[in-house]
Amino acid sequence: MGQSFLQIGLTLCIVIAIAPILGRYIARVFMGQRTLLDPLMNPIERSIYLLAGIKRKDDMTGWQYIRAILFSNMIMAIFVGVLIRYQKFLPWNPNDFFAPRWDILLHTVISFVTNTNQQHYTPETTLSYFSQVAALGFLMFTSAGTGLAVGIAFIRGLTSKKLGNFYVDLTRGITRILLPISVIGAIALVLLGVPQTIDKTLIVETIEGSTQYLARGPVASFEMIKMLGENGGGFFAANSAHPFENPNGATNLIEIIAMISIPAAMIFVYGIFAKNLKQAWLLFWMVFTAFVILVWVAVSGELQGNPLINSAVGAEWPNLEGKEVRFGAIQTALWAVTTTSTMTGAVNGMHDSLMPQGLFVTLFNLFVQIIWGGQGTGTAYLFIYLILTVFLTGLMVGRTPEFLGRKIEKREIVLASVVLLVHPIMILIPSAIALAYPFSLSGITNPSFHGISQVVYEYASAAANNGSGLEKLADNTLWWNLSAGFSMFAGRYIPIIAILLLADSMSRKPTVPETPGTLKTDSLLFTTVTAGIVLILGVLTFFPVLALGPIAEGFKLASGS
């Protein structure tokens, strides 16, 4: 137990150390400044721009950036859908898998193109190696790159710069950030025991004389971009609880750091673009403090264990249901908080077995989306809350709200409200429909309050582009594939459109001279108010759901029933 707490402390220290360093590097990449990878990547990028007909210096307006995202993502989705549909006739299919059912195929394509990676299928018995690597692996890079580009464009707009060119941002995000780190990380995972092979399923005879089938494949390369790009979809159904994806404590540490590194670094990217590292550090500590508190709540719940079991055995035992022994309750709780706070969605244990405290924390992360947040877009959501805080505090003192020297007016507040309102709509409405038909639609396999959480979690995961789930939900049905697919699609692209229009609007505003009455946004007081606004807007929106789910379940367990 002491070793697990030491690893949590080590993880947090590494995050504090690398976030500003990686942030400076990412800022240099997107500001067009010189980096160590220039000699290698400049010729490659020039070739890509030449073949694609991209003019590197052509900046886009908000709508041009949006159209580029939608068009490119649509082409990618069609391309990947065709690859999976005809995987039977393509190479690297040693197990001769046919195409999955049409609704599973549609759900999977939407899931991976939106950076969600929610899986309603068993990967090792459904997709060929070629489909896993060339189709889904391709989308893992491009969907993460898309989110990163959106975050950078939003930061540019807030800091009165032009939004840039989506195709250039996507290319540089992949070639300079995602690909190099993924290569290094994959090599480290191979050295630590993660397989990387294209051999077919291994058939062995056990000592009892029975036959066992061991699925394998090019796992290490898939695993690293899955974590770094906040993708989360597993090469195996057990995801990172599988010993081939995450065999030991060292790989567990690497994968947690990979999940959190870019979202944490993006806060410092903003600070460098805005030339205000003081505000970046304040926001970093705000998010970091919230993260530590949530980790403490989840870990405490798992260490206290199930009171019904403890009373039966006459001792207090940690909750080990759904946990891998090599990680235990503490490391599983840390992972659960990290994967939902970063919108990654990978799991190293079953979230369905978390105690109510852990379930409350994971749902809270999916609801607010800014405790670290998704790839690039999480930073945008954080600054949406900042803009709303400026607006509300400005109203309190009777001044026109200003942020970074530009006025916040009706258009910006409407767009910010769209970003924040789409999320609860995509969760609560489909959840209500599913719960209204518990036998024909919902697929609930858990009793009472936990069953409500099971349904709400699935849609929260979809709308937040997270992808994790409370397992045992009967989600491989037409209803779940189509409804969750719609939540993923709308939860991804409607906020992106609003975010980019808001950034475009801010970039065009004239700078307002600073006066003695100008609200300082880089103060501890303003950062504290922002945290309060996040808590009020985020929690109160979903409080009835939390009360009917994990809170009620916690009271029920505490009462001994």
Question: CB–CB of 83/135 below 8 Å?
Answer: yes
- Rounded (10°) CA dihedral 307, 308, 313, 315: 10
In one-letter notation, the amino acid at residue 214 is L
d(CA 147, CA 167): 12
Residue in the block written with tokens 């979202």: 263
Mean pLDDT of the chain: 91
Query: Whole-prediction pTM value?
Result: 0.94
In one-letter notation, the amino acid at residue 89 is F
Closest CA to 443 of 6, 90, 120, 104: 120
pLDDT band at 199 (very low <50, low <70, confident <90, very high): confident
d(CA 212, CA 175): 40
Per-residue model confidence (pLDDT) at position 95: 85
The fraction of the chain above a pLDDT of 90, given in percent, is 71
Question: CB–CB of 62/500 below 8 Å?
Answer: yes
Question: CB–CB of 466/232 below 8 Å?
Answer: yes
Residues 118-146 pLDDT 10s = 999 999 899 999 999 999 999 999 999 99
pLDDT band at 516 (very low <50, low <70, confident <90, very high): low
d(CA 561, CA 299): 23
The tokens describing 77, both together, are 């989705």
Residues 477-509 pLDDT 10s = 999 999 999 999 999 999 999 999 999 999 988
pLDDT over threshold 80, residue 20: yes
d(CA 241, CA 231): 16
Closest CA to 468 of 483, 482, 484, 479: 484
Residues 147-191 pLDDT 10s = 999 999 999 999 989 999 999 999 999 999 999 999 999 999 999
| Three-state SS sequence of 424-478 | HHHHHHHHHHHHHCHHHHHCCCCCHHHHHHHHHHHHHHHHCCCCCCCCCCCCCCH
Weakest-pLDDT range from 131-140, 188-197, 379-388: 379-388
Per-residue model confidence (pLDDT) at position 3: 63
In one-letter notation, the amino acid at residue 235 is F
Question: Could you tell me the CA-to-CA distances from 297 to 8, 337, 361, 402, 541 in Å, in that order?
Answer: 14, 10, 7, 36, 21
Per-residue model confidence (pLDDT) at position 89: 93
pLDDT band at 1 (very low <50, low <70, confident <90, very high): low
Q: Domain residues of the chain, as ranges?
A: 2-558
Per-residue model confidence (pLDDT) at position 2: 62
Q: Which helix H or strand E contains 205, and what residues bound it? A: strand 202-205
Residues 80-133 pLDDT 10s = 999 999 999 999 888 889 999 999 999 999 999 999 999 999 998 999 999 999
